[in-house]
Copies of this chain bind each other. A is one copy, B any other.
Amino acid sequence: MSSRERIVRRVLDALGEARGTGVDVPRGYRRRLTAAEAATRADLVAMFTERVAARRATVRHAGADDLATSVAAALWARAARRIAAPADLPFGWLSELDGVDAVADTGLTDLETLRGLDGVVTGCAVAIAQTGTIVLDGGRAQGRRLLSLVPDYHLCVVHADQIVGTVPEAVARLRPERPLTWISGPPAAGGPEARRVEGGHGPRSLEVLVVED
């Protein structure tokens, strides 16, 4: 019997007959925003924008037609010379990158190369208005976790129809077995009493480009 089996056995013995029965888990939390908070998509976008900004991230808005120009403008503003993007990022997002070199990450780019880049551009799986959170699940246009966590600057494109109101709504859109990265502003280390240190485990700069189609 392995250590794992011994531990599982002890837990099961301790639970005894009660196992799997009779435990009331409170589920009375709010699952949706009220109509007063978010009657329209524009309300959701406005709340998301406000909450992301409150988390020290920059938020920009673009129409579908000027997405490529807006991505380029964000990179030019940082004087980025060389960035990475998932290989399956839609080509149209990067088609205006005059003077910025874009590396397609196919999962082979090594850590040193990623560290040397000026940033990364990705999409997301879903975004949450109430908490100003972006969730990546490794799906299309998102790449592997390393890609969005190593470079010091992350430009994340969020389509307006990817924004939901609440965390439960986001969870309903996600598949738990996927590698999820939940991003609420630039990451910070430190508990309530410690000094807040930004960039402890992820990019120090997060910029969100909301695309209204």
User: Which A residues form the contact surface with B (CB < 8 A)?
Assistant: 64-65, 68, 85-95, 102-104, 106, 108
The answer to whether B108 and A103 have CB atoms under 8 Å apart is no
Shortest C-beta distance, A135 to chain B (Å), equals: 21
Specify which of B64, B89, B95, B104 is in contact with A103 (CB 8 Å cutoff).
B95
Q: Provide the bound-state CA to CA distance between A43 and B94, in Å.
A: 37
Residue from the list B87, B90, B104 in contact with A87, Cβ < 8 A: B90
User: How far is it, in angstroms, between the C-alpha of A92 and the C-alpha of B102 when the chains are bound?
Assistant: 9
A132 vs B25: C-alpha distance when bound (angstroms):
60
Residues of B within 8 A of A104 (CB): 68, 91-92, 95
Contacts of A65 in B (CB 8 A): 106, 108
Give Cα A68 to B102, complex, Å.
Answer: 13
